[in-house]
Amino acid sequence: MGRCVSGQLASTVSHSHIRCACVRERPCSVCYSAAAIVMLHPVAIRHLQKAERYQAAGDLLRAAQHCEKAVRIAPNFAIAHANLGSLLLAQGHYAQGIKACIQALRLQPLNDTAHRNLVTALHKLGQHSEAATVALKSVQLLPADTILHDLLSHSLYRVYHAGQPAQAVMLAEAWLKFQPALPIAQHTLASLRGSSPPAPAAGYVQALFDSMAASYDENMRQIESRTADVLSTNYLQIETRHDLNILDLGCGTGALAPRLRPKARYLAGVDLSSGMIEVACKLSLYDDLYTSEGASFLMGTQRRFDGIIAADVLCYTGDLKTIMTAAAATMSHDGILAFSVEAAAPVVGSYMLMPSGRYSHNLDYVFSNLDEAGLKPVQHTTAHGRHEFSRPVECHFIIARKS
């Protein structure tokens, strides 16, 4: 649930050189004192190292037992408390995990692992308002921690959906006042207020997916995301041709690649997030991968595509005219555009920014933009795309052909 950082301190101590384990830019008296105490108790370090080995082997119970031994021997060993908190939370012992995280933060107020796990554990116990309040304090202490930014944003959405929209807006306003230039804070507040800008705050989407790239696939499993599966199934039922030039628009970590590759002579992926592209590259299924905003890539490429697939992509923008026009311009005759949009709630106007950070689109608006781009819908289905805030999210899956 959080990264284990004991190896950092253990290696620091073994080299007889104490440096700050919580703020890398400058030394910290808390870390100096904690490290000094640990240096007097090499047995505590050995227990922590054993905990790491058991954790790597998947034995979380024994790993936690060794962390407990470490903190009994060296009560001021902050990182051992933080790792104990991680292990307890991973086993579902949320109340005990919270105690361990709080103790870690008393000893080392800038321990990022403890901050993140404390927020997560409070949510697990249903204490969403308290989790959001803690997350706000955490980002004020660690303003450069992008994972904490994501946790705070998600916490505020949870507070909203728990029936406290005014509380969520108040905390978001405090966050934006503290970090007025931060795109995720701007976007979150706009989402909670019911604003509907044509696009998210500049830099928001890239920062969001860069921060979650390493855990993206696991996150999708947790929310039971079906968007890529449903859309690719629909596309493959419609598209009977082979040896195609296919673009995976907003490819993410490459979830669509195994299903698209057999159809493709050439398979390209494009994503705004370099972190996601790095993960997709490891699949070795794409001929080319590009880090770029989708519409910009489409307007700049000279290649023509027989198929463009955009799963869970258009929900991150309001205005669809630019991207649909650009997509049509790069498609071959009889080319196919397959995409999904969300239908989370009745939409007033063309689109709405929802209190999830994503957009929901009016179907009339979607079909109007397809028509203007010279694309004719050939299939439209609806299905649950994911589960969020304890409820399913309805999505439209649309396939259009260039006429």
Residue predicted with more confidence, 343 or 231: 231
pLDDT, mean of residues 19-44: 51
Confidence check: pLDDT of 300 > 50: yes
pLDDT of residue 13: 26
Tell me what percent of the residues of the chain surpass a pLDDT of 90: 84
| Tokens 């000893």 belong to residue | 107
The per-residue pLDDT for range 357-392, each reduced to its tens digit, is 999 999 999 999 999 999 999 999 999 999 998 899
Hey, what are 112's tokens? 């990022």
What sign does the dihedral 255-151-361-270 (CA atoms) show?
A: negative
Could you tell me where in the chain the CATH 3.40.50.150 domains are found?
216-402
- Contact predicate 86/101, CB 8 Å: no
What sign does the dihedral 224-228-229-231 (CA atoms) show?
A: positive
- Contact predicate 51/64, CB 8 Å: yes
pLDDT of residue 254: 97
Question: Residue 105 and residue 99: Cα distance in Å, rounded?
Answer: 10
61: three-class secondary structure by DSSP: helix
pLDDT of residue 7: 36
Question: Residue 365 and residue 172: Cα distance in Å, rounded?
Answer: 30
pLDDT, mean of residues 340-352: 83
pTM (predicted TM-score): 0.85
**CATH topology (fold) of 216-402:** Rossmann fold (3.40.50)
Question: Residue 132 and residue 139: Cα distance in Å, rounded?
Answer: 11
- Contact predicate 307/291, CB 8 Å: no
Question: Residue 331 and residue 376: Cα distance in Å, rounded?
Answer: 13
pLDDT of residue 345: 67
The per-residue pLDDT for range 221-265, each reduced to its tens digit, is 999 999 999 999 999 999 999 999 999 999 999 999 999 999 999
User: Which residue, 316, 323, 322, 367, is CA-closest to 342?
Assistant: 316
The per-residue pLDDT for range 176-212, each reduced to its tens digit, is 999 999 999 999 999 999 888 999 988 999 999 998 8
- Which range among 13-17, 73-77, 205-209, 262-266 has the greatest average pLDDT? 262-266
Report which residue type is found at 127: Q
CB atoms under 10 Å from CB of 353, counted, come to 23
Element (H, E) at 260: helix 257-260
CB atoms under 10 Å from CB of 128, counted, come to 24
- Contact predicate 50/24, CB 8 Å: no
| Tokens 């080299």 belong to residue | 15
pLDDT of residue 32: 43
Confidence check: pLDDT of 9 > 60: no
Distances in Å between the alpha carbon of 212 and those of 119, 263, 332? 17, 29, 34
pLDDT, mean of residues 48-70: 96
Phi, psi of 365 (to 5 degrees): -65, -45
- Contact predicate 130/159, CB 8 Å: no
Could you tell me where in the chain the CATH 1.25.40.10 domains are found?
1-125
Instruction: Quote the strand ranges of 140-263, DSSP E.
Output: 244-249
Query: Out of 1.10.1740.10, 3.40.50.11900, 1.25.40.10, 3.40.1170.60, which CATH number does the structure's domain 1-125 have?
Result: 1.25.40.10
Helix, strand, coil distribution of the chain in percent, nearest 5: 55, 15, 30
pLDDT, mean of residues 114-128: 96
Mean pLDDT of the chain: 90
pLDDT of residue 202: 87
Q: Rg of the chain over CA atoms, in angstroms?
A: 24
pLDDT-wise least confident of 258-267, 282-291, 388-397: 388-397
Question: Residue 258 and residue 381: Cα distance in Å, rounded?
Answer: 23
pLDDT, mean of residues 140-162: 96
Confidence check: pLDDT of 1 > 50: no
pLDDT, mean of residues 161-167: 96
SS3 string, 333-357, reads: EEEEEEEEEECCCCCCCCEEECCCC
pLDDT of residue 39: 56
| Tokens 């598209």 belong to residue | 239
Please list, residue by residue across 145-168, b when 16 or more beta carbons sit within 10 angstroms of its beta carbon and e when fewer do: bbbbbbbbbbbbbbbbbbebbebb
Element (H, E) at 36: helix 29-39
What's the first-to-final CA gap in the chain, in angstroms?
49
Contacting residues for 22 by C-beta, under 8 A, at least 6 apart? 28, 30, 31, 108, 109, 110, 111, 112
